[in-house]
Amino acid sequence: MTTATRPAEAPLVHAVNVMKSFHGNEVLKGIDLDVRRGEVVVLLGPSGSGKTTFLRCINQLETIDGGRIWVDGDLMGYADKGGQLYRLTDKQIAAQRRDIGMCFQRFNLFPHKTALENVMEAPVQVKGVKKKDARKRGIELLERVGLGDKPAAYPAQLSGGQQQRVAIARALAMDPKLMLFDEPTSALDPELVGEVLAVMRELAASGMTMIVVTHEMGFARDVADEVVFMDGGVVVEQGPPSEVIGNPRHPRTKDFLRRMRAEEEEQAEAVAAALSVVQANIAGTGDEAGDAKATDPAAPADATPATTPSEPPAERSGD
Ligand SMILES: Nc1ncnc2c1ncn2[C@@H]1O[C@H](COP(=O)(O)OP(=O)(O)OP(=O)(O)O)[C@@H](O)[C@H]1O
Ligand SMILES: [Mg+2]
C-alpha cells in the first residue's frame, strides 16, 4: 500500500499506484488515474493490457493488491484508521458499489423480466424505493434511452442495441455518481452501435462522470476529455484526444492506433464488398428472380456469398 493521502480538492475518482496480480501474473503494475467530476475518460489499449481488470478494481469486483482507490472521497474497500487499513465488511463494500453503475459488453438483463421490471429491480430490492415511484422513474429512464415505447418488452423481444440501452437505464436507476462502461458496443451488430453511443453521448453531455473502455475512436475523439492508453498493466500515455489520438508520442500508442486504423479500413472494405454482392444480387434478381447463377457465374449452384446482409462482416462500426 502506498502512503498517498487524499488531495485537498479531491477528484471523483483518485487511483494511486493500483496493483493487481492473478496467480503471480502482474496485470496492473501501478496505475494512477484521476477523473474529475463530469469528466469522460476513455481507456484504450490492446487486449490483455488490464482495462477490464482496472474497471473491476474501481468497482471492487476485484480486490487490489497494492495502491488505493478513492471514489468521491471514500477509500474503496478499506477504512483508513491512523494509516492502518482495515478491510470493510461485505455490507459496507456493497454500499460503496451502489454508487457506481457498470455496463458490460454482455447486458445481463433478467430474461424473465420486462424492460421496465429490469430497470425497477435494483431501486426496489436494494434501496427500498416504493414500486410506484420506481415505475415512474423507470418509465422516465426508458424514455431517456429512447425506449419509451418498450416498457413491457422482454429482453428476447429486443435487439442487442435496445437491450444495452435498457442496461444503461437500469444502471442509471440507482443514481450512480460514476458510470463504468466496458466495451458496451463491441458485441453489437454494426448497425446497432450508433444508438448506444448516442445514449452515451447524451449521458456525457448531461454531466455524468464516465470511464469508458471502447475501441470506438469517433466516440473517444468527440466525447472524451481525457484518453488513457494502457499497455502491459501501465499507463503509457494520457491526455486530451487531440494529443493521444491525434498526435501520439509513444511508439506503443502509435503502433496501437495504426493497427486500429488498419482494422477499421479492413472493416470498411468488407462492408463495401458485402454491399456490392447485395447490389449485384438485387440487379440480377430483377429479371431472373431466384436464379443466383445469373448474377455470379463463378458461384457454384449451392454457394452463398461469404458475406451476406444477415451476416455482418464486422463487429464494430467506425462510429
Ligand atoms: N480472473 C482472472 N484470473 C486470471 N487472470 C486474469 C483474470 N482476469 C484477467 N486476467 C488476466 O489479466 C490480463 C488482463 O486482462 P483484462 O481482461 O483486464 O484485459 P483487457 O485489457 O480488458 O483486454 P480485452 O481488450 O481483451 O478485454 C490478461 O492476461 C488476463 O488473462
Ligand atoms: Mg476487457
Model confidence pLDDT, tens digit, residues 5-59: 544 567 999 999 999 999 999 999 999 999 999 999 999 999 999 999 999 999 9
Q: Which three cell numbers stand for residue 224?
A: 472524451
pLDDT mean over 116-141? 97
Tell me the average pLDDT across 206-221.
96
Which band of pLDDT confidence, cut at 50, 70 and 90, is reported for residue 80?
A: confident
pLDDT, mean over the chain:
87
* Ligand 1 lining (C-beta closer than 6 Å): 22, 27, 45, 47-53
| C-alpha 177 to ligand 1 mean position (Å) | 26
Name the residue of 18, 20, 21, 27 to mutate for ligand 1: max ligand atoms within 8 A of Cβ: 27
3-class secondary structure for 123-158?
HHHCCCCCHHHHHHHHHHHHHHCCCCCCCCCCHHHC
Protein residue whose Cα sits closest to atom 18 of ligand 1: 50
pLDDT at 296 over 50: no
Options 3.30.540.10, 3.90.190.20, 3.40.50.300, 3.90.226.10; CATH of 13-268: 3.40.50.300
* Ligand 1 atom nearest 46 alpha carbon: 25
Identify the pLDDT of residue 9.
62
**In whole angstroms, what is the distance from residue 82 CA to residue 101 CA?**
31
Nearest ligand, measured from the Cα of 22: 1
- Burial letters 281-306, b for 16+ CB under 10 A, else e: beebeeeeeeebeebeeeeeeeeebe
Output the pLDDT for position 238: 97
pLDDT at 319 over 90: no
Q: pTM value?
A: 0.84
Task: Domain ranges for the chain, please list them.
Answer: 13-268
294 or 242, greater pLDDT: 242
pLDDT in the model for residue 268: 80
Q: Report the alpha-carbon distance of residue 208 to residue 174 in Å, rounded.
A: 13
C-alpha cell at 148: 419509451
Q: What angle do CA 88, 94, 95 make, to 5 degrees?
A: 90
Instruction: Encode pLDDT of 224-235 as tens digits.
Output: 999 999 999 999
CA of 21 to the centre of ligand 1 (A): 10
For residue 181, report the distance from its CA to the centre of ligand 1, in Å.
16
User: What CA–CA distance (Å, rounded) separates 105 from 183?
Assistant: 5
Cα(250)–Cα(256) distance, integer angstroms: 10
DSSP state of 287: T
Q: Whose CA is nearest to atom 27 of ligand 1?
A: 47
Least confident of 44-58, 79-93, 102-116: 79-93
